[in-house]
């Protein structure tokens, strides 16, 4: 493997890993804020205990999201310096603004939330988690606007003297139709992920530890499952819109998602296709008539361009070359994304039905659902990103810069290999630690709540702080 392949693998590994934590952070921040709001409103202690329980799981997850995010900020410069030179004028501002607007909010107000239980008035303390949650969403918007620009460059001009893309309309970058719809799709998926996590954990507690906290966990299980169902509908609607935007700005990606080789009108959706070895035509497939036309164009008989048509068009437009992504990757990641997401929604639906009864039977199905629920959306998120990034290939910026031209020219493949292996081993080790800590916390169950005046006798300065590392 040369430095280019290694740099691509490194970006893929570090980004996919980072994004395991991000959606859970975004969604869970809001769900925990909701639980705390319920406690402040009703003074029902169950909600406080749930807030602290899920709050701690949230923080264990958040820690890894933060530290892996640091790598994201710098690896464009490290491994993709020519890309950075080419796009910095356009791509840099959303990144910088993300830091200034979002990261400061998240980190500062989470610090206040974690350590501020006894230092801040109750409502102000509640506000800190809502502000931190807002920070996570802002962060998502700016980074997705940056990514959407790589998929669908807008608001720029090419400077022929410097060979750089230069920003001409920042608002256009921010309201890039692909950015808007990708943001909505991603946030909906984040809620699906967090809802599934909350529901899965609660179901596991109900099945395995039906103790006096079952009441609280039943509420959490319902909240989580309902979140999944509502989010699933939104994921579906936004995904449908995203497919239409994608068809108009990146038709090759849509064709590759479908392994559609020749233009079709109307086009059918393939549930399963086996293609020839060179990837140029299909041998066998199972199809739903007209569905692809509807997904891509909004009408049942819309014309959808095929890979071979687009390849011919691009050769005229951009010169000789292979403009096709790796079709089996795009085809299967697209399908499996939809499949795993749908399965999570079905599991949540089944769970709501099972929760009608007073006690949850610890059958293999129930425990299996509890474990599978949080994992399915994680798989769907990952597959979605692999699809969207692999589907952009061979471009790093669609139509403007091939991926091979973006890699750092001065960085040796040995350097990239060493850092890639190190990051992978470090990330793997941290994943084991994280899962271990999550499991330990979940087994420990809801924390006991101390009465606020437990140390009423002590002098204020001597009183133990409410939370300490």
In the set 60, 291, 349, 400, which binds other proteins (CB under 8 A)? 60
Long-range Cβ contact pairs of 321-326 (< 8 A, separation 24 or more): 321/394, 322/394, 323/252, 323/394, 324/252, 324/256, 324/279, 325/252, 325/253, 325/256, 325/390, 325/391, 325/392, 325/393, 325/394, 326/390, 326/393
* Residue 454: CB minimum distance to other proteins, A: 10
The shares of helix, strand and coil residues in the chain, as percent rounded to the nearest 5, are 70, 5, 25
Radius of gyration of the chain (CA): 24
* Residue 303: CB minimum distance to other proteins, A: 39
Question: 165 or 351, CB closer to other proteins?
Answer: 165
Query: CA separation (Å) from 458 to 122, 231, 452, 464?
Result: 21, 48, 12, 9
The residue range among 23-31, 101-109, 253-261, 353-361 that interacts with other proteins, by the rule CB under 8 A, is: 101-109
Question: 111 or 289, CB closer to other proteins?
Answer: 111
Please state the separation of Cα 154 from the chain's center in Å. 23
Question: 209 or 222, CB closer to other proteins?
Answer: 209
Per CB under 8 A, 359 contacts other proteins = no
In the set 56, 258, 264, 389, which binds other proteins (CB under 8 A)? 56
Binding mask 110-149 for other proteins (x = CB under 8 A): xxx-xxxx-xx-----------------------------
Question: 157 or 317, CB closer to other proteins?
Answer: 157
Query: CA separation (Å) from 342 to 235, 294, 381, 406?
Result: 10, 19, 12, 36
Question: 109 or 191, CB closer to other proteins?
Answer: 109
In the set 122, 158, 163, 168, which binds other proteins (CB under 8 A)? 168
Question: 81 or 241, CB closer to other proteins?
Answer: 81
- Integer distance in angstroms from the first to the last C-alpha of the chain? 44
Strand, helix or coil at 396?
Answer: strand
In the set 12, 34, 92, 399, which binds other proteins (CB under 8 A)? 92
Per CB under 8 A, 76 contacts other proteins = yes
φ, ψ of residue 156 in degrees (nearest 5): -140, 170
Binding mask 383-422 for other proteins (x = CB under 8 A): -------------------------xxxx---x---x--x
In the set 44, 73, 211, 301, which binds other proteins (CB under 8 A)? 73
Q: What is the DSSP letter of 384?
A: H
Per CB under 8 A, 187 contacts other proteins = no
Contact present, 176 and 421 (Cβ < 8 Å): no
- Give the separation between CA 372 and CA 49, rounded to whole angstroms: 25
Per CB under 8 A, 23 contacts other proteins = no
Give the H/E segment covering residue 273: strand 269-275
Contact present, 178 and 152 (Cβ < 8 Å): yes
* SS3 letters across 158-219: EECCCCEEEECCHHHHHCCHHHHHHHHHHHHHHHHHHHHHHHHHHHHHHHHCCCCCHHHHHH
Query: For residues 322-347, b (16+ Cβ closer than 10 Å) or e, as one string?
Result: ebbbebeebbbbbbbbbbbbebbbeb
Per CB under 8 A, 430 contacts other proteins = yes
* Residue 438: CB minimum distance to other proteins, A: 10
Question: Per CB under 8 A, which of residues 442..461 are in contact with other proteins?
Answer: 444, 447, 450, 461
* Residue 465: CB minimum distance to other proteins, A: 5
Per CB under 8 A, 284 contacts other proteins = no
Q: Who's near 374: CB < 8 A, 6+ residues apart?
A: 193, 196, 197, 200, 201
* Residue 185: CB minimum distance to other proteins, A: 24
In the set 9, 13, 37, 85, which binds other proteins (CB under 8 A)? 85
The residue range among 161-169, 216-224, 291-299, 392-400 that interacts with other proteins, by the rule CB under 8 A, is: 161-169
Question: 9 or 170, CB closer to other proteins?
Answer: 170
List, in sequence order, the alpha helices (H) in 326-412: 327-354, 364-390
In the set 36, 79, 136, 297, which binds other proteins (CB under 8 A)? 79
Query: CA separation (Å) from 34 to 29, 50, 223, 322, 413?
Result: 9, 11, 10, 50, 48
* Residue 413: CB minimum distance to other proteins, A: 12
Per CB under 8 A, 93 contacts other proteins = yes
Question: 88 or 339, CB closer to other proteins?
Answer: 88
């Amino acid at each position: 493997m040369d430095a280019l392949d290694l740099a691509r693998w490194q970006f893929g590994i570090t980004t996919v890993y980072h994004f395991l934590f991000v959606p859970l952070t975004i969604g869970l921040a809001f769900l925990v804020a909701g639980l705390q709001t319920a406690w402040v409103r009703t003074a029902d202690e169950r909600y406080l205990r749930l807030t602290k329980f899920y709050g701690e799981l949230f923080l264990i997850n958040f820690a890894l999201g933060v530290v892996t995010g640091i790598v994201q900020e710098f690896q464009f410069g490290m491994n993709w310096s020519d890309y950075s030179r080419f796009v910095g004028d356009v791509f840099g501002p959303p990144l910088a603004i993300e830091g200034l607007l979002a990261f400061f909010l998240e980190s500062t107000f989470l610090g206040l939330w974690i350590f501020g239980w006894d230092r801040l008035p109750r409502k102000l303390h509640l506000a800190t988690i809502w502000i931190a949650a807002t920070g996570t969403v802002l962060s998502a918007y700016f980074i997705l606007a940056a990514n959407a620009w790589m998929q669908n460059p807008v608001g720029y001009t090419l400077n022929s003297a410097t060979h750089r893309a230069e920003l001409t309309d920042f608002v256009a970058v921010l309201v890039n139709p692909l950015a808007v719809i990708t943001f909505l799709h991603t946030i909906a998926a984040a809620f699906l992920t967090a809802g599934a996590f909350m529901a899965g954990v609660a179901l596991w507690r109900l099945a395995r530890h039906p103790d006096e906290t079952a009441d609280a966990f039943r509420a959490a299980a319902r909240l989580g499952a309902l979140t999944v169902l509502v989010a699933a509908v939104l994921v579906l609607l936004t995904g449908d819109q995203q497919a239409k935007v994608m068809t108009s700005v990146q038709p090759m990606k849509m064709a590759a998602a479908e392994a559609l080789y020749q233009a079709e009108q109307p086009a059918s959706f393939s549930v399963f296709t086996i293609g020839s070895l060179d990837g140029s035509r299909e041998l066998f497939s199972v199809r739903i008539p007209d569905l692809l036309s509807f997904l891509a164009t909004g009408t049942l008989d819309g014309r959808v361009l095929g890979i071979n048509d687009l390849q011919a068009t691009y050769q005229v437009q951009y010169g000789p070359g292979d403009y096709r992504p790796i079709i089996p990757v795009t085809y299967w990641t697209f399908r499996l994304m939809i499949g795993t997401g749908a399965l999570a929604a079905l599991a949540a639906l089944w769970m709501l039905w099972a929760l009608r009864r007073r006690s949850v039977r610890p059958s293999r199905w129930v425990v299996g659902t509890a474990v599978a629920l949080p994992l399915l959306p994680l798989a769907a998120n990952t597959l979605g990103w692999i699809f969207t990034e692999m589907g952009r290939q061979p471009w790093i910026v669609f139509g403007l810069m091939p991926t091979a031209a973006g890699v750092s020219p001065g960085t040796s493949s040995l350097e990239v290999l060493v850092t890639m292996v190190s990051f992978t081993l470090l990330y793997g080790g941290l994943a084991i630690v994280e899962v271990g800590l999550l499991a330990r916390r979940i087994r420990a169950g809801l924390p006991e709540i101390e009465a606020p005046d437990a140390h009423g006798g002590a002098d204020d300065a001597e009183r133990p702080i409410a939370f300490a590392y």
